[in-house]
Amino acid sequence: MEFQSSSVGAVTKRLFDILIATSSLVLLSPVVFLVALGVKLTSPGPVLFNHTRVGLGRKPFGCLKFRTMVKDAEEWLQRDTHLNSVYRENGFKVPTRADPRVTTFGQILRRTHLDELPQLINVIKGDLSIVGPRPIVSEELDCFPGSDVDRLLSVRPGIFGLWTAMGRDRVNYPERAHVELSYLDHRSVLLDLAILFRHVPVLLRGQPNESPATKSKPSRLSNSLNPRSK
């Protein structure tokens, strides 16, 4: 079933999102409580970090995460010219190991991906899907050529996606744009399931979000969607 050509597929995907998000929040509620407590006890500031991203139909929304950085992290990024340069040169993100704003407990949360648990709330609200292109900040819109921006924002962004399945911070622009758009060209129930299954070992191993010293080799999943590899 292809989501882009079937209204039934779109409804099915939304129901799947709600079912997975609500059941996951219930099952993981003890973990959510412990992580929230850990954030509160290990550094001053709010438990959640609300970062503005661009969503479906160019609508901005607050993408939720457990806070992994010091409470004035955004202000620090703006006033530190070197850090801001790293942020922009690295695809609008700073590698965890190179980011002085990340707390000790935050490093653990990022390594285990537990910091992203609150995004299940975004899924229930309709801001995110379980699987889709990762949500972007407004500065990243220029990384997608022409009408491709409208295509990207014609669907809900996701917690998991083809780009994250390839290694997240190991693939930067412009290749990331190609990967995200390839997902839109081929999205289906089977592809979403393949992406989810590919994330299972990453989550179980607690693999870091990035490996700045190396670049990942293209996966068979990404190669199968890449016409340039055929």
Question: What's residue 6's pLDDT?
Answer: 63
Taking the C-alpha atoms of residue 93 and residue 226, their distance in angstroms, rounded to an integer, is: 25
Interstrand relation of 158-160 and 48-54 (parallel, antiparallel or unpaired): unpaired
The residue range of the domain holding 158 is: 3-229
Question: What's residue 225's pLDDT?
Answer: 58
Please give the average pLDDT of every successive group of 10 residues along the chain, which has 230 residues: 64 94 97 98 96 96 98 93 92 90 96 96 98 94 89 95 81 90 91 91 62 44 52
Q: What are the tokens at 32?
A: 């959510």
| Domains of the chain: total | 1
Question: What's residue 229's pLDDT?
Answer: 47
Write the CB contacts of 105 (distance below 8 Å, at least 6 apart in sequence).
38, 39, 42, 43, 68
Question: What's residue 171's pLDDT?
Answer: 81
Question: What's residue 220's pLDDT?
Answer: 54
**Do 180 and 162 form a contact (C-beta atoms < 8 A)?**
yes
* Other beta carbons within 10 Å of 7: 8
Per-residue model confidence as pLDDT tens digits over 164-202: 888 766 788 889 999 999 999 998 889 999 999 998 877
User: What is each CA distance from 82 to 48, 76, 87, 141, 218, in whole angstroms?
Assistant: 26, 11, 9, 23, 30
Question: What's residue 146's pLDDT?
Answer: 81
State pTM to two decimals. Answer: 0.84
Q: What are the tokens at 60?
A: 């901005």
Helix axes 104-112, 29-42, angle to 10 degrees: 160
Give per-residue burial for 24-57: e unless 16+ CB within 10 Å, then b: ebeeeeeebeebbebbeeebeeeeebeeebbbbe
Question: What's residue 214's pLDDT?
Answer: 37
Question: What's residue 3's pLDDT?
Answer: 55
